[in-house]
Amino acid sequence: MKHLHSGKVRDLYETPDGLLLMVASDRISAFDYVLEPGIPDKGEILTRLSLWWFEQLKDVVPNHVVSSDVPAEFAGRGVLCRRLRMVPVECVARGYLTGSGLVDYRREGVVSGVRLPEGLTDGSRLPEPIFTPSSKAPMGEHDEPMTYEEVAAEVGEDVAERLRRITLDVYSRGAEIALERGIILADTKIELGWDADGVLTLGDEVLTPDSSRFWPLDQWEPGRSQPSFDKQFVRDWLLSPESGWDRSSGEAPPPLPDEIVERTRSRYVEAYERLTGERFRG
């Protein structure tokens, strides 16, 4: 198997018959650093959640999954996929305002070129979900927001419109399913690519806590940062005095304490179990 790429979280290989083997590790990143130690089972949780979502979304958009039957050393964490020619745009949909969207909104009232009404705050629900694409930055650099017009200039008007449609459809379907389980899907990022027949296809991972913000509905309260089903404990701890880490120092963060690792693992397991309705280890 030929090693193609290792990102912060995933490793990509090419199989002898030309398929892509995507393996999710237990690595966790925050503030653009890969942290120590990993979160036990995170790779498997995210892989299984992604596979579950691909299945839920198959009427919305075709996907790259071929099989989860992979060599034993990757069992549970690996997926065989069709190799796509990726569209060079991170396709983001937001139904709620937070994160980088909130920062842009506060600065100019606009997110990726979409003007929003006044008076919104952290965690506000948007009047309707919006498409807020960003560039795919090379490793180590930040993704930059793109306007719809910039996307159209890069991939053509027709493709831009299809990216927007698919992204909003994936968001809406995902949000509807999550809401039935008491979870708000605040926003999500998908990646699309062209398959060998020229069909626009969903690749990468989908609707995982690494690519999306999931909030417990019963604790949603605009005007503050929302509790979420992801690495929130990690971020909070890193920014707290206990960690002793100064984000602006340029130094790598300290190792995570066992308690933060364990609570973060529970959070990922809970997201998986609530969304899919299945036990992670039955």
How far apart are the C-alpha atoms of 99 and 97, rounded to whole Å?
Answer: 7
In the complex, residue closest to ligand ATP by CB: 7
For the segment 60-119, give every residue that binds ligand ATP (CB under 6 A). Answer: 64, 81-84, 86
The residue among 7 and 255 lying less far from ligand ATP, judged by its C-beta, is 7
The count of C-alpha atoms lying within 13 angstroms of the C-alpha of 271, restricted to the half-sphere facing its C-beta, is: 31
At what angle are helices 42-56 and 157-180 packed, to 10 degrees?
A: 110
How far apart are the C-alpha atoms of 20 and 183, rounded to whole Å?
Answer: 32
How far apart are the C-alpha atoms of 148 and 166, rounded to whole Å?
Answer: 14
User: Does 193 help bind ligand ATP (rule: CB under 6 A)?
Assistant: yes
To ligand ATP, the closest distance from the beta carbon of 87 in angstroms equals 9
Binding mask 203-242 for ligand ATP (x = CB under 6 A): xx--------------------------------------
The residue among 72 and 139 lying less far from ligand ATP, judged by its C-beta, is 139
To ligand ATP, the closest distance from the beta carbon of 90 in angstroms equals 9
Query: Among 252, 254, 232, 235, which Cα is nearest to 243's?
Result: 254
Query: Among 11, 7, 156, which Cα is nearest to 87's?
Result: 156
For the segment 2-61, give every residue that binds ligand ATP (CB under 6 A). Answer: 7-10, 12, 20
CB 87 within 8 A of CB 159: yes
The residue among 19 and 110 lying less far from ligand ATP, judged by its C-beta, is 19
For the segment 235-274, give every residue that binds ligand ATP (CB under 6 A). Answer: none
Peptide bond into 37 cis (omega under 30): yes
- Interface contacts to ligand ATP, rule CB under 6 A: 7-10, 12, 20, 64, 81-84, 86, 139, 191, 193, 203-204
